[in-house]
């Protein structure tokens, strides 16, 4: 368990909790701990779904600008590469993931939220990629994941202007998927994740791999990937249990072991 990032597990749900007051700024140590926790969440069989959470006040206010400003070019190459790798490790957790966004998700904070499969935000949040105001651009996935999520034109507007986006517009743009009262952010995200706690873990992993892998390639290759993952599930116990339950008891009554 890291000093600023920890994985809390209960009833199949892992909460990756950022805790670096006041705004969970992403410095060298947070970056390293995010990568470590992503690996742990990926490997633990008792973690079936994951919530990314920065606490009640703010999700993540961005990178640690004071630390970054003091770095040389060579140091930033190392830091930027490591930060991108850590966030990619979060995006590649082979389980359903959801970001519970409170307060602010700005710069690296929004890039962190973009690694999740789903984003649930409080109605008072502000999100954005304000790096342009510092004379730089997003460097941890913002120029890649955001356009894939909302389209290049809308992403360019946000990245070129660096403007902050409030909850209602973030929902309209598709940056977040659901807006709730601030006090309900974590519980709503947790409830979404909890529906997978006893689900077919191997099939869920295959679904995520098929969708994410297909988005990175052409349709023909994506369809081949889908077929491979689809047919491979006939080697799992959950496929046999799910189909047997459907035949004997009807839909929606199967019990899965995640094997």
Which residues does the annotation mark as catalytic? 111, 131
Strands 49-53 and 126-128: unpaired
Residue where the block lists tokens 């995640």: 258
Tokens of 183: 């006090």
Please give the torsion angle defined by the CA atoms of residues 76, 81, 82 and 83, in that order, rounded to the nearest 10 degrees: 80
In whole angstroms, what is the distance from residue 95 CA to residue 209 CA? 10
**Residue 74 CA to chain centroid, in angstroms?**
28
- Count of beta carbons in the 10 Å neighbourhood of residue 176: 24
Distance in angstroms (rounded) separating the CA atoms of residues 97 and 198: 15
CB 82 within 8 A of CB 32: yes
Sheet holding 126-128, edge to edge: 104-106, 126-128, 165-166
> What is the spatial distance between Cα 18 and Cα 22, in angstroms, rounded to a whole number?
11
* C-alpha to C-alpha distance for 214 and 32, rounded to whole angstroms: 29
Please name the residue that has the structure tokens 């959801």.
Answer: 98
């Amino acid at each position: 368990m890291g000093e600023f990032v920890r994985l809390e597990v209960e009833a199949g749900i892992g909460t990756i909790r950022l805790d670096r007051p006041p705004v969970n700024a992403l410095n060298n140590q947070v970056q390293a701990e995010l990568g470590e926790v992503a690996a742990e969440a990926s490997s633990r069989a008792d973690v079936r779904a994951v919530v990314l959470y920065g606490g009640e006040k703010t999700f993540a206010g961005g990178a640690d600008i004071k630390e970054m400003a003091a770095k040389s070019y060579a140091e930033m190459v190392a830091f930027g590469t490591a930060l991108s790798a850590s966030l990619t490790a979060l995006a590649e957790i082979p389980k359903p993931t959801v970001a519970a966004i409170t307060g602010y998700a700005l710069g690296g904070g929004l890039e962190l939220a973009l690694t999740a499969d789903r984003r649930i935000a409080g109605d008072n949040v502000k999100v954005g990629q304000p790096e342009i105001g510092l004379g730089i651009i997003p460097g941890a996935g913002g120029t890649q994941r955001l356009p894939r999520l909302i389209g290049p034109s809308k992403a360019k507007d946000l990245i070129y202007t660096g403007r902050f986006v409030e909850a209602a517009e973030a929902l309209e743009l598709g940056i977040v998927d659901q807006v709730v009262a601030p006090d309900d952010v974590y519980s709503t995200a947790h409830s979404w994740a909890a529906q997978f706690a006893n689900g077919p873990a191997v099939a869920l992993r295959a679904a995520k791999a098929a969708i994410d892998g297909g988005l990175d390639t052409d349709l023909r290759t994506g369809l081949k990937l889908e077929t491979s993952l689809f047919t491979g599930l006939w080697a799992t116990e959950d496929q046999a249990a799910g189909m047997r339950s459907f035949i004997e008891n009807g839909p929606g009554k199967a019990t899965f072991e995640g094997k």
